[in-house]
């Protein structure tokens, strides 16, 4: 039975509605993991380090999709809550066209700057041509990749989260089969991994575009857009937190790689790459729930239903408590077997990776609350507070910790930097949640 945004959400209904998005983001992370597993085991740790060195920079280009998707879905869902579907479709179409244009521009930029960018990030010797080749191939797919990130949010606003899930599964299977054939069977290394990722992006980004071109399939479909500067400004403002979060994560990953290259060399970059791949699976639960609940919150905020808004917040905080405790315990317990999948062929690298991930996993105790709070204010169309939370947790506090903690704790300080940042951010998150409760009517 389809769940509508206008309904009252019990715990069961809230989990049912957000589950497809949670599974979708976990699955997206898993097929990224498969990419890393094939490159590490079949192309070697130098190729694996090269991919991990350039990947944060590629994700910086892709942050436009997260911004337009989360920010745009909040705007569209709010207008739907106000009962104006034609305007919601017009806004939706404008945002999608903007994503296509941004992708085209970024593709040209990415192809042109890739080699000097890789060199600036520290790639040299054998790593430089590998990182450059991988980055240039992925740059060719920036438009469908941006659309894929956007449509993950818009499928929820269109009350079709399960369809979004199945398309993500299809994209993931495409990537996995491509990795098996092009990296595992054919010795194409990073080139094969990049081609497999490009193919999956076309499934995840272009197929939904065709679906939304068909009218009457859902409450949202593409119509002739009209340029409205105010709508784009509000979309970018609302989505600035998600863009900031992903942009900051990429920038901080570059700082991690810089410090690790200084402290332990190529093995440190490879270990951090493993932690990031596995980390995304766990974060997928936090992000999936927050993204999935966002349009529901936006709808009831737009409809002026403060009672339901309060109920959604209370239920979400209780669920997030369970998620944080459970995922922390699971991550610590599974650190060694998960690390072995990537680097079991190197005992020293395996030990380094396992210890790093166990220390890094402590951040999950508080991370979920900060991720949800940022998404909550995005859903309320307060991009300033949402961006502030994202900026503090993913850039300012974490960057400071990356350079400060190693002075006292050496390598362990690198792995504990994210935990320190999340704890500090939690204090700021609590302040914003309490100070804004009367303004938005979710207190009491």
Per-residue pLDDT of the chain (444 residues; tens, 9 = 90+): 566 767 777 888 888 888 888 887 787 777 667 777 788 788 777 888 788 778 877 877 777 777 787 777 778 877 887 777 888 888 888 888 888 898 889 899 988 989 898 888 777 778 888 889 999 999 998 899 888 888 877 887 777 877 877 888 888 889 889 988 998 888 888 889 889 989 988 998 898 888 888 877 777 778 888 888 888 887 887 676 667 667 777 778 888 888 887 888 778 878 888 888 888 888 889 988 998 888 888 888 877 788 888 888 899 999 999 999 999 999 999 999 989 988 888 888 899 999 999 999 999 999 999 999 998 888 887 878 888 898 888 888 989 999 999 989 988 999 999 999 999 999 999 999 998 888 887 776
Q: How far apart are CA 107 and CA 266, in angstroms?
A: 29
CA of 42: how far to CAs of 3, 186, 350, 390, in Å? Answer: 44, 10, 17, 36
Candidates 253, 176, 167; CA nearest to 212 is: 167
Q: Find out whether 34 and 189 touch, Cβ atoms under 8 Å.
A: no
∠374-141-222 over CA atoms, to 5°?
65
Please count the other Cβ atoms lying within 10 Å of the Cβ belonging to residue 220: 24
Q: How far apart are CA 419 and CA 362, in angstroms?
A: 6
Helix axes 347-360 and 411-435, enclosed angle (nearest 10): 20
Q: What's the pLDDT tens digit per position in 104-157?
A: 898 999 889 898 988 887 777 788 888 899 999 999 988 998 888 888 778 877
Note if the pTM is more than 0.85: no
Q: What are phi and psi of 216, to 5 degrees?
A: 70, 5
């Amino acid at each position: 039975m389809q769940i509508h945004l206008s309904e009252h959400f019990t715990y069961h209904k809230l989990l049912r509605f957000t589950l497809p998005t949670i599974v979708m983001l976990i699955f997206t992370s898993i097929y990224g993991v498969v990419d890393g597993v094939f490159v590490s085991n079949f192309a070697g740790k130098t190729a694996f380090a090269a991919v991990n060195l350039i990947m944060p920079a590629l994700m910086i280009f892709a942050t436009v999709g997260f911004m337009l998707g989360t920010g745009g879905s909040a705007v569209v869902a709010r207008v739907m809550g106000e009962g104006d579907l034609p305007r919601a479709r017009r806004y939706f179409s404008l945002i999608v066209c903007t994503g296509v244009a941004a992708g085209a521009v970024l593709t040209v930029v990415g192809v042109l700057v890739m080699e000097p960018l890789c060199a600036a990030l520290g790639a040299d010797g054998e790593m430089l041509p590998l990182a450059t080749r991988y980055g240039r191939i992925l740059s060719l797919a920036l438009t469908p990749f941006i659309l894929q990130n956007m449509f993950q949010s818009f499928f929820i606003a269109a009350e079709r989260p399960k369809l979004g899930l199945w398309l993500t599964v299809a994209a993931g299977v495409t990537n996995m089969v491509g990795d098996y054939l092009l990296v595992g069977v054919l010795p194409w290394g990073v080139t094969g991994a990049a081609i497999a990722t490009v193919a999956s992006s076309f499934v995840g980004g272009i197929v939904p575009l065709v679906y939304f071109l068909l009218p009457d399939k859902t409450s949202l479909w593409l119509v002739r857009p009209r340029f409205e500067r105010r709508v784009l400004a509000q979309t970018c403002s609302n989505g600035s937190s998600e863009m900031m979060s992903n942009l900051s994560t990429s920038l901080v990953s570059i700082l991690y790689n810089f410090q690790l290259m200084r402290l332990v060399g190529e093995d440190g970059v490879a270990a951090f790459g493993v932690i990031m791949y596995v980390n995304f699976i766990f974060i997928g639960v936090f992000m999936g729930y927050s993204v999935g609940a966002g349009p529901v919150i936006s709808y009831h905020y737009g409809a002026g239903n403060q009672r339901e808004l309060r109920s959604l917040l209370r239920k979400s905080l209780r669920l997030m408590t369970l998620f944080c405790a459970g995922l922390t315990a699971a991550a610590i317990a599974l650190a060694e077997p998960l690390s072995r999948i990537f680097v079991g062929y190197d005992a020293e690298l395996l030990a380094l990776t396992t210890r790093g991930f166990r220390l890094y996993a402590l951040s999950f105790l508080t991370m979920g609350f900060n991720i949800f709070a940022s998404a909550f204010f995005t859903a309320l169309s307060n991009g300033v507070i949402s961006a502030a939370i994202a900026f503090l947790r993913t850039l300012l506090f974490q960057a400071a910790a990356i350079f400060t903690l190693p002075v006292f704790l050496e390598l362990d300080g690198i792995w504990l930097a994210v935990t320190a940042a999340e704890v500090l951010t939690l204090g700021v998150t609590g302040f914003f949640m309490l100070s804004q409760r009367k303004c938005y009517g979710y207190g009491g």
